[in-house]
Amino acid sequence: MNDAPANAPRLDAYWMPFTANRQFKKAPRLMSSAEGMHYTSFDGRKILDGSAGLWCVNAGHGRREIASAVERQLSTLDFAPSFQMGHPIVFDFAERLAAMAPGGPNAGLDRIFFTGSGSESVDTALKIALAYQRAIGQGTRTRLIGRERGYHGVGFGGVSVGGMVNNRRMFPQLPGVDHLRHTHDLEKNAFVKGVPEHGAELADDLERLVALHGAETIAAVIVEPVAGSTGVLISPKGYLERLRAICDRHGILLIFDEVISGFGRLGTPFATDYYGVIPDIVTTAKGLTNGALPMGAVFCSRKLHDGLVQGPEGAIELFHGYTYSGHPAACAAGLATMDIYDREGLLTRGAELAGHWADAIHSLRDKGPVIDIRTIGLMAGVELSPREGAVGARAYDVFVDCFEHGLLCRYTGDTIALSPPLIVEPGQIDEIVEILGVAIARAH
Ligand SMILES: Cc1ncc(COP(=O)(O)O)c(C=O)c1O
């Protein structure tokens, strides 16, 4: 902070993730507290949360029920070993999630593996897919398929199947990974509300990869039904159905990464429900605990679970897991979060607000540099034309301008991404659009 107040923290030691550290530390943006739809910044300003923190605070901030549940749990049982030992709340939470699993009871995605984050959920899902193929005698299937412009976290598995060049170029990747083409098509699908019409045939790219590599080498395909971190890219009509059919035809497992789209973001509990296409595995995190404590959950089909959980009864079936898998305090936070979602109908509230949300955000269409707007549920991407030779600079200016004028949003490349807590009121949606519109108009 240039004119830092006396109580400002020292900034040197903390190496910030996915941040331009030196730029940030010259003009830091610090949050001190949060309640409901608002943060309070370090300099005492109210900031409307247009991004649910980092796509995770779906029930809004400062939920006392979650804090009390965590406090109670920590003072009852703070930790128990996760390997070869259990504790009641982890079983309770798994049962609770199983009862609301993506796709409903008939989908059978009701075997739950707990992790500590979205990245861990993704790597867990990839490993389960590989292990399952091997267990059913398909051990040649070691290849994983991701998609261009996908984001699946930062583990080596997630980076390998991910499709964002800056996350990949510095690091070696898993061998034998390939990528489908992305589905973003500005020419055919610009300024669409909801699911775009064009692009189902892009799923046929999987047939191309099958023809190139041989189906017997491919274990699984992972996609985000709606990609968030790469700029809110919405799978087009018919695309996921087609992907499912091709996977079925060739014995390939399908993984939906719902770390962002899970827990009500699209106006249904999961994107799996929104699209009505059932994958073999669904990865989640973020909204699982309302962002209050780190945790992820991987929903696996019974087929996969039962295929792997066999052999001699005394033998460990899957050599995988984390110290903090199913941490008692995170389970307490998760159960309290599900209570709030149920009581307040938050997992479907996005459907009620989606019309107002879409109309409000699409009113920005004629602001100077806006080249596309994409909305679904309570999620939006507002894409700006990049400044010559400075990709991302315009969106960064908009992001900073918004923060200075009382709105937290996200930016990725030149897309402004919005995903407010699901408790947002229509008037607050209008406020988001007002502040963002002025910032975009200023960002020439
Ligand atoms: C689709 C998706 N997968 C995985 C992740 C990684 O989650 P985490 O940052 O909790 O590791 C993210 C994070 O934004 C995500 O959007």
Is 351 found in the same domain as 232?
no
pTM recorded for the entire structure: 0.98
Query: Token digits for 228?
Result: 């968030």
CATH number at residue 81: 3.40.640.10
Is 374 found in the same domain as 317?
no
**Could you please report the per-residue DSSP string of 213-271?**
H-GGGEEEEEE-SEE-TTT-EEPPTTHHHHHHHHHHHHT-EEEEE-TTTTTTTTSSSSH
Is 305 found in the same domain as 203?
yes
Is 143 found in the same domain as 34?
no
Instruction: Name the residue at shortest CA distance from atom 12 of ligand 1.
Output: 153
Atom of ligand 1 minimally distant from the CA of 261: 1
- Answer whether 228 contacts ligand 1 (Cβ < 6 A): yes
Q: Is residue 259 part of a domain?
A: yes
- Answer whether 52 contacts ligand 1 (Cβ < 6 A): no
The number of distinct structural domains making up the chain is: 2
Query: Token digits for 186?
Result: 């500005």
Q: Is residue 314 part of a domain?
A: yes
- Answer whether 153 contacts ligand 1 (Cβ < 6 A): yes
Q: Is residue 220 part of a domain?
A: yes
Is 376 found in the same domain as 254?
no
Give the residue, out of 147, 152, 159, with the most ligand 1 atoms within 8 A of its beta carbon, to mutate for a pocket test: 152
User: Who contacts 45 (Cβ-Cβ below 8 Å, separation ≥6)?
Assistant: 406
How confident is the model at residue 361, as a pLDDT?
98
Q: Is residue 6 part of a domain?
A: no
- The span from the CA of 221 to the CA of 55, in Å, is 24
Query: Token digits for 244?
Result: 């499912």
35: left (phi over 0), alpha (psi -120 to 50) or beta: beta
How confident is the model at residue 8, as a pLDDT?
85
319 touches 329 (CB < 8 A): no
- Answer whether 436 contacts ligand 1 (Cβ < 6 A): no
Is 430 found in the same domain as 324?
no
Is 44 found in the same domain as 185?
no
How confident is the model at residue 444, as a pLDDT?
81
How confident is the model at residue 47, as a pLDDT?
98
Burial code (b: 16+ CB inside 10 Å, e: under 16) for 242-277 equals: bbbebbeebebbbbbbbbbbbbbbbbbbbbbbbbeb
Is 57 found in the same domain as 187?
no
CATH number at residue 361: 3.90.1150.10
- Answer whether 435 contacts ligand 1 (Cβ < 6 A): no
Is 104 found in the same domain as 48?
no
Q: How far is the CA of 267 from the centre of ligand 1 (A)?
A: 20
Is 56 found in the same domain as 122?
no
φ/ψ (deg, to 5) at 204 = -65, -15
Residue 221, Cβ density class (10 Å: 0-12 exposed, 13-18 middle, ≥19 buried): buried
How confident is the model at residue 3, as a pLDDT?
61
Which residue numbers in the chain have pLDDT < 70? 1-4
- Answer whether 230 contacts ligand 1 (Cβ < 6 A): no
Range of the domain at 378: 21-63+345-442
- Answer whether 258 contacts ligand 1 (Cβ < 6 A): no
How confident is the model at residue 6, as a pLDDT?
76
CA distances from 42 to 8, 18, 61 (A): 8, 21, 17
- Answer whether 265 contacts ligand 1 (Cβ < 6 A): no
Q: How far is the CA of 211 from the centre of ligand 1 (A)?
A: 31
Specify the amino acid at residue 343.
Answer: R
Give the residue, out of 57, 232, 286, with the most ligand 1 atoms within 8 A of its beta carbon, to mutate for a pocket test: 286
- Answer whether 239 contacts ligand 1 (Cβ < 6 A): no
Is 42 found in the same domain as 103?
no
Dihedral angle of Cα 246, 248, 251, 257, to the nearest 10 degrees: 80
User: Who contacts 102 (Cβ-Cβ below 8 Å, separation ≥6)?
Assistant: 109, 256, 258, 262, 269, 270, 271, 272, 273, 278, 279, 282, 299
